Amino acid sequence: MTYSVAVSGASGYAGGEILRLLAAHPDIEIRTVTAHSNAGQPLVRHQPHLRSLSHLTLQDTTPEVLAGHDIVVLALPHGQSGQYTDALADTPIVIDAGADHRLTDASAWAQFYGGDFHAPWTYGVPELVVDGAKQRELLAGATRIAAPGCNASTVALSLAPGVAAGVIDPSDIVTVLAVGPSGAGKSLKTNLLASEILGSANPYAVGGSHRHIPEIRQALVGAGAVGDVRISFTPVLVPMARGILATSTAPIAPGVSDAQIREAWADAYAGEAFVQLLDEGEFPRTADVLGANTALLGLAIDRAANRVVVVAAVDNLVKGTAGAAVQSLNIALGLPEDRALTVNGVAP
Amino acid sequence: MTYSVAVSGASGYAGGEILRLLAAHPDIEIRTVTAHSNAGQPLVRHQPHLRSLSHLTLQDTTPEVLAGHDIVVLALPHGQSGQYTDALADTPIVIDAGADHRLTDASAWAQFYGGDFHAPWTYGVPELVVDGAKQRELLAGATRIAAPGCNASTVALSLAPGVAAGVIDPSDIVTVLAVGPSGAGKSLKTNLLASEILGSANPYAVGGSHRHIPEIRQALVGAGAVGDVRISFTPVLVPMARGILATSTAPIAPGVSDAQIREAWADAYAGEAFVQLLDEGEFPRTADVLGANTALLGLAIDRAANRVVVVAAVDNLVKGTAGAAVQSLNIALGLPEDRALTVNGVAP
Amino acid sequence: MTYSVAVSGASGYAGGEILRLLAAHPDIEIRTVTAHSNAGQPLVRHQPHLRSLSHLTLQDTTPEVLAGHDIVVLALPHGQSGQYTDALADTPIVIDAGADHRLTDASAWAQFYGGDFHAPWTYGVPELVVDGAKQRELLAGATRIAAPGCNASTVALSLAPGVAAGVIDPSDIVTVLAVGPSGAGKSLKTNLLASEILGSANPYAVGGSHRHIPEIRQALVGAGAVGDVRISFTPVLVPMARGILATSTAPIAPGVSDAQIREAWADAYAGEAFVQLLDEGEFPRTADVLGANTALLGLAIDRAANRVVVVAAVDNLVKGTAGAAVQSLNIALGLPEDRALTVNGVAP
Amino acid sequence: MTYSVAVSGASGYAGGEILRLLAAHPDIEIRTVTAHSNAGQPLVRHQPHLRSLSHLTLQDTTPEVLAGHDIVVLALPHGQSGQYTDALADTPIVIDAGADHRLTDASAWAQFYGGDFHAPWTYGVPELVVDGAKQRELLAGATRIAAPGCNASTVALSLAPGVAAGVIDPSDIVTVLAVGPSGAGKSLKTNLLASEILGSANPYAVGGSHRHIPEIRQALVGAGAVGDVRISFTPVLVPMARGILATSTAPIAPGVSDAQIREAWADAYAGEAFVQLLDEGEFPRTADVLGANTALLGLAIDRAANRVVVVAAVDNLVKGTAGAAVQSLNIALGLPEDRALTVNGVAP
């Protein structure tokens, strides 16, 4: 059967990527695309790379327009999805690509986002280790799915195996990320201008204010972290349109061997197509996953510094957002998990 | 008076930057430029941006050619400067832009570089806190100067004030750097090709193998670190020709206040033109220091993570290498320290 | 049925892209990958983005290794394919991604390439206007296919409709191209280093020496050009890994109307999925076709300058090379022309 | 003596570059900086690279604030400088970095800009060939100076010598430019976002609508063009913050020799520091002039295409705008022409 889909926020970067993936999905019909300020215009005016969708026109993002589809994807700024909840009550599957349904802790929401708190939906990172199982199991048959934060899922996938296996200490995590500006959306801000970012590395949200921090903490607690999970988290904008290269380190737990450490990750991701641990001594580049739904992890054990170092490469718009949504959707629908998703990146 | 200079390695990136700075130096005459494989060719064929030096021809790098100048700058691969020591015995000032005369510890040299160990020269980072004073004092009248490693000096300047003041714990430093490929030199390696680096973030030397680690440790011990200095150090190549954006974190020492932490850096760099602490809440971009001899530091205190975060922006070829050399030379010669050096970057 | 394929030059950029496309091709089994200097190593060491092919090992490029497949793709430096001709005599389909079998004119080969001249194979640009028909017709059932030069096919597709319709004068074409360095291959040359290309625009082969010039001339003569075809052709390397943005202009033929001009292109590409004329006033960006097999054309008529301006965006590795090869292969095999090829680019 | 300066538009890119250059000018005191929306804020908040000017606060751009200086620089959007004319009647020198006082032809103004036409000021391109002399002569003692359009002056300098010498035909010029986005200013437009420009080449103003076209025509008529001057002009945004790489071609005039062609440019720029013709076979890169006031020209004679090709590299913010302003100012004041300006670029 073919499922009808409506995608809101279709003129933005996340919405555009969802459309790019769904356009190649044999079980999906993209019936409706909506946007706020650009309603009435052809989709390709705002997404000129989506030539196969040149027949679509952006409509207003209203409950009425979104209702009546098998699947609705909300790619909206945080705080905006709640207004569509009632109208979409009968929609079989709703995916929120925004932040509104990710956090389980209302106080964390209040601290990092503010505004009304919404109950969490099923978190869209299938490979995440959760209580000795995988998040995939919870996604089977799910009807309300929260696509992850791109940085959050990258770091959670980087560290959850070590936390679950007890080979690293989650109380003193340090993560620094090189990220492309598309993660910040198509926002008209001076710091996102090409002239500001070309040839430069620009830190932001330094010192613990980034909104993905509670999402990482939540994931690592879910993976089995005992005691406090503390994260020093610093993102740095670098001159590439897409990509996250997250370097995450945590202290080595006392008494564990190198083999035990490596096994924790190898076991967690054995057989996973979209989260792969590279061979010892190899580390990934963001170009290797461009356009792909793959998270590549490289693992080093630095005994001199007493830290495990995990370097993860993810395409923020695919595995970080839209690919996670489609993969989760495939699971929810009982389709092959990799439908319309690619393992191989577009490089160079 | 005008000092005559010979610059070896003049066809490379470090050599080229030294020439760019010295070409604007009113007290310096660039008399000789040398290179290995390109001897006999016009300098501008290899440094086409140095139009004011289009009269110069590259000569062979031999002791005879280098001897007889007031100042010799060696911009050679590590391990090569020793062969010129005897021939330059009478040269008033020799600056090594390579690694051969930086380390005081022969075992660190053996572990990270290998080959013959050479006695250390005066380290060319004037603002570095050393035993309660500044390295500047040691540079006054120096005759043999070791220009620093670009990453090493960036991290050392980032953390030395906190170490010296005892407000951070140097035993668990984590540093991740976004760096431009010019720091790796004009080497014909696949991983330095434009196609490999454009649009990608590429980690290297992950897990504790980078050669600048012992240099940082040495600087922080010199700044007064008590006990072990341990550093998790991960550099990431990003698509900008120049620049280092170093994010360095260390645990907050027990019992210190935010004000004490901030004062440590503010006091250390008060009055310094080329190392500046930004106002609270502000963090530097590498574009802000492009072409300039300035290190800009932003400081955050993350109590939730119990870590101080210092973000430093440096032009690897200027303050990281050639500018450090020229600044040190100015001090050694008793000239104004900022001669031929600029504080303002070329941005955007 | 499934066709077995061997790809030579598999560690390079063109070879890698052919593998990326074929890895998603349901009718193809990639059985053999070969390389010269890297034989014996895992493919993913050289193509780390091709994770789905991590089971493949590079073999030597010898006639024996290449023989015995249904399809052989030669992605070799020019002048090298001839040595495999005899050994591949029984191979049903051979595709040369290099230049050896593109030119019909031995004197043009001698002038721009040199060395042995080889008879031309069927040219792999299906949408090209040829004598009032399309090159597609010649590709049906072809057994020896010459994939095009990326710049050449981009310019040929840009101008052939106007030449064929007689609405532009081919005797004074001017083309300037912004191109990414991947078109130059994975060659260890100083001018291809990231430090040389980041933040810079670098012209090369200025003044009429580029090897794609005779290939363009040949295509435009084939399209019906009367009299001399003369092209001023200037490529400029710009800091993007992939992509060609070709601006091609030619004088407006006397007496033709704007409508006649526009119709020439609209008619030529009506119904084509992979070569699309944008609406009036719209012009393409290379990002719009990244990873896609699409050539997007924007057309302007500048009466003040008396010139038609065609701006074309192509991914040099896809529609410019590997996608052209796969599209041609699909036609030759009688498969759907778009199998394993995408219309939509990966943007931003 | 020291001249006091006020710079309006000080929070923008052109204003910032003027400040960067003047900050190093020994005869200038930057007394006042103004902006529209950002008045009251520290200059360094908007120009964080100008650390030496961290004492300055942005003031409102009003006639009262600007009046009373020796020199006023207007770096405003076009159409805005006229309102300050009366208030600045007594200001010894006024430089307009905008377009308002460049064109001599009111109808060209009306066609390409619109709004009130203002009388032209002395055009700030000292090396431009004008009626057998140089524009420099007109700038000596000038009190009202129009800094050039960056693309316009680049193309004018590229072609004026050939036009003046009669060795090229100005009736069929074709120019295509690779340009960095800083030329478009710090404008919040979607097409200037980093995500849109990174990894992409984006044409704009295709087909003859760019505002610099009449400025080029005017300069070439001034250089001695006989008959129509017609220009096909296509700018392409490429992923570098700064820089113009202009490829300009024109038909070779009948009967002229290669030597005559080359001599035209060699003679025109003999002895010029800031406009240099490269040796035969050499062509410039924009990196070679980054931060420098230099225009580098490479010249090819393509007899097969019957065209002269001039490739010019310019830093749009320096020689294209701010450097042109400072150079012109130096001439107007009788100072050494190169004061505060550098010939050497910042590369790599």
Please name the residue of chain A whose CA is at the shortest distance from the CA of residue D189.
A188
- pLDDT tens-digit readout, D49-95: 999 999 999 999 999 999 999 999 999 988 898 889 888 999 999 99
With respect to residue B41, please indicate whether it lies within any of the assigned structural domains. Answer: yes
- Is residue C162 located within the same domain as residue C275? yes
ipTM for the complex shown? 0.96
pLDDT in tens, B136-195: 999 999 999 999 999 999 999 999 999 999 999 999 999 999 999 999 999 999 999 999
**Using the beta-carbon criterion (under 8 Å), do C343 and A20 form an inter-chain contact?**
no
| Whether this model's pTM surpasses 0.90 | yes
Contact across the interface for D194 and A199, Cβ inside 8 Å: no
- In a shared domain, residues B159 and B213: yes
**pLDDT tens for residues B7-49?**
999 999 999 999 999 999 999 999 999 998 899 999 999 999 9
| A343 in a structural domain | no
- Which pLDDT belongs to residue B265? 98
Mean pLDDT of B298-302: 98
Section D13-19 average pLDDT? 98
What is the Rg, in whole angstroms, of the alpha carbon atoms belonging to chain B? 19
Examine the pLDDT at A122 and tell me if it is beyond 90.
yes
pLDDT tens-digit readout, D164-200: 999 999 999 999 999 999 999 999 999 999 999 999 9
For residue B336 the two structure tokens come to 């104004």
| pLDDT reading at B347 higher than 90 | yes
Q: Is the dihedral of CA A19, A23, A28, A31 positive or negative?
A: positive
Whether C176 and chain B come into contact, CB under 8 Å, resolves to no
**Interface residue B149 vs chain A (CB under 8 A):** no
C20 part of a folded domain: yes
Which CATH number does the domain housing residue A37 bear? 3.40.50.720
pLDDT at C1: 84
Which of these, D88, D170, D158, lies nearest to D121 by C-alpha position?
D88
Look up residue C168 and give its DSSP letter.
B
Question: Environment class of residue A111 by beta-carbon count within 10 Å: exposed (0-12), middle (13-18) or buried (19+)?
Answer: middle
Question: Cα separation of C141 and C215, whole Å?
Answer: 23
One domain, residues D60 and D184 = no
Does D47 contact A at CB distance below 8 Å? Answer: no
Over residues A236-248, mean pLDDT:
98
Q: Do A241 and D198 touch (CB under 8 A)?
A: yes
Q: Domain of residue A204: give its range.
A: 151-314
Neighboring chain C residues of D204 at a CB cutoff of 8 Å: 283
Together in a domain, B240 and B298: yes
Q: What is the pLDDT of residue D186?
A: 96
A215 lies in the same domain as A302: yes
pLDDT score for D244: 98
pLDDT exceeds cutoff 90 at C321: yes
**Confidence (pLDDT) at D188:** 96
In a domain, residue B267? The reply is yes
Q: Which two tokens stand for residue D304?
A: 């097969």
Neighboring chain C residues of D262 at a CB cutoff of 8 Å: none
Query: Facing residues of D307 across strands?
Result: D251, D302
Residue C158 in this model has a pLDDT that exceeds 90: yes
3-state SS assignment for residue B40: coil
pLDDT value for A226:
87
Assigned domain for D344 exists: no
For residue B187, what pLDDT is reported? 94
- CA of D204 vs chain B CAs: smallest distance (Å): 21
Which of D159, D232, D249, D317 to substitute to test the interface with C, most C CBs within 10 Å?
D232
Q: How far is C260 from chain A (nearest CA, A)?
A: 25
Which residues of C fall within a CB distance of 8 Å from B181? Answer: 193-195, 198
Tell me the average pLDDT across C3-11: 98
How far is residue D122's CA from residue D146's CA, in Å, rounded to a whole number? 6
Shortest Cα distance, chain A CAs vs residue B283, angstroms:
7
Q: What pLDDT, on the 0 to 100 scale, is given for residue B256?
A: 98
B294 touches chain D (CB under 8 A): yes
Residues A73 and A92 in one domain: yes
pLDDT for the residue C108: 96
Q: Chain B contacts of C37, Cβ < 8 Å?
A: none
D98 and D15 in a common domain:
yes
pLDDT tens profile A152-176: 999 999 999 999 999 999 999 999 9
Chain C residue with CA closest to D285: the answer is C202
**Sheet hosting strand D93-96, strand order edge to edge:** D58-60, D28-35, D3-7, D71-74, D93-96, D144-146, D122-123
Report in angstroms the alpha-carbon separations of D259 from D248, D282, D300: 19, 16, 12
Residue B1 has pLDDT above 90, yes or no: no
- Per CB-CB distance under 8 Å, the chain B contacts of C241 are 194-195, 198-200
Active-site amino acid positions of A? 150
Asked whether residue D73 falls in the same domain as residue D217, the answer is no
CB contact under 8 A, D347 and B24: no
The amino acid present at C83, given as its one-letter code, is: Q
Chain D residues close to A182, C-beta within 8 Å? 195
Out of B21, B150, B277, B313, the active site residue is: B150
Asked whether residue C343 is domain-assigned, the answer is no
List C-alpha distances in Å: A98 to A38, A43, A130, A153, A168.
19, 21, 22, 13, 30
Q: Would you call D23 and B344 a contact, using CB atoms and an 8 Å cutoff?
A: yes
Q: Note the pLDDT tens digit of each residue in C283-304.
A: 999 999 999 999 999 999 999 9
DSSP string, B4-38: EEEESSTTSHHHHHHHHHHTT-TTEEEEEEEESTT
D-chain CB neighbours of A193 within 8 Å are 181, 186, 188, 192-194
In terms of CA atoms, which chain C residue is nearest residue B180? C195
The per-residue pLDDT of chain D, averaged, comes to 97
Residues of D catalogued as catalytic = 150
CB of A6 closer than 8 Å to CB of A65: yes
Could D194 and A241 be called an inter-chain contact, meaning their C-beta atoms sit closer than 8 Å?
yes
Among candidate residues C88, C150, C164, C312, the one labeled active-site is C150
In the prediction, which pLDDT does B152 show? 98
- Is residue B177 within 8 A of residue B252, CB to CB? The reply is no
What pLDDT does A131 receive?
A: 87
| pLDDT bucket at B130, cuts 50 / 70 / 90 | very high
Query: In the complex, which subunits touch B with 3 or more CB pairs below 8 angstroms?
Result: A, C, D
pLDDT of A26 above 90? yes
**Contact residues, chain A, for C292 at CB < 8 Å:** 49
pLDDT tens digit string along B193-217?
A: 999 999 999 999 999 999 999 999 9
Contact B51 D284 (CB under 8 A): no
What's the rounded mean pLDDT across residues D227-251?
97
pLDDT digits (tens, 9 = 90+) for B88-109: 999 999 999 999 999 999 999 9
Q: Note whether D112 and D257 are same-domain residues.
A: no
CA nearest to D242 within chain A:
A195
Supply the pLDDT for residue C13.
98
What is the overall mean pLDDT for chain C? 97
Domain tally for chain C? 2
Residue C52 has pLDDT above 90, yes or no: yes
Q: Tell whether A140 lies on the interface with C, counting CB pairs under 8 A.
A: no
Q: Which secondary structure element, helix H or strand E, spans residue C264, and what is its range?
A: helix C258-269
Contact assessment for residue C195 and residue B180, using Cβ atoms and an 8 Å cutoff: yes
**The domain spanning residue A184 has which CATH number?**
3.30.360.10
Interface contact D241-B348, CB threshold 8 A: yes
Average pLDDT over residues A309-330: 98
DSSP 3-state assignment of B185?
A: coil
Judgement on whether residues D280 and D157 belong to the same structural domain of the protein: yes
Whether D346 maps to a domain, the answer reads: no
pLDDT over threshold 90, residue A252: yes
Percent of chain C at pLDDT exceeding 70: 100
Residues of B in contact with C198 (CB under 8 A): 180-181, 194, 197-198, 239-241
Minimal CA separation from B133 to chain D, in Å: 25
Q: What is the mean pLDDT of chain B?
A: 97
- Say if residue B21 is in the same domain as residue B133: yes
C141: confidence class by pLDDT, cuts 50, 70, 90:
very high
Task: Report CA Rg, chain C.
Answer: 19
Given this model, what pLDDT does residue D131 score? 87
**pLDDT at site A262:** 98
Is there a domain that residue B338 lies in?
A: no
Q: Is D75 helix (H, G, I), strand (E, B) or coil?
A: coil
Task: State the Cα–Cα distance between residues B342 and B21, nearest whole angstrom.
Answer: 10
Mutation choice for B interface testing from D49, D55, D342 by most B CBs within 10 A: D49
Nearest to C203 among D174, D207, D245 (CB): D245
- Residues of B with Cβ-Cβ distance to D276 under 8 angstroms: 51
Predicted local confidence at residue D132, as pLDDT: 84
Summarize pLDDT for C192-231 with one digit per residue, the tens: 999 999 999 999 999 999 999 999 999 999 999 989 999 9
Of residues C270 and D83, more confidently modeled: C270
Is residue D32 located within the same domain as residue D126? yes
Q: What's the pLDDT score for residue C132?
A: 84
d(CA C112, CA C213): 9
Does the beta carbon of A37 lie under 8 angstroms from any beta carbon of chain D? Answer: no
What band does B132 get if pLDDT is binned at 50, 70 and 90? confident
pLDDT band at C329 (very low <50, low <70, confident <90, very high): very high
- Report yes or no: B199 at the C interface, CB cutoff 8 Å: yes
Q: Is A290 on the interface with D (CB under 8 A)?
A: no
Taking an 8 Å cut-off on Cβ atoms, the answer to whether C189 and B190 are in contact is: no
Quote the CA–CA distance of A314 and A148 in Å, as a whole number: 13
In Å, how far is B152's CA from the nearest CA of chain A?
A: 16
Alpha-carbon span D145 to D136, nearest angstrom:
12
How far from chain centre, in Å, is Cα C341? 14
The chains found to touch C (3+ Cβ pairs under 8 angstroms) are A, B, D
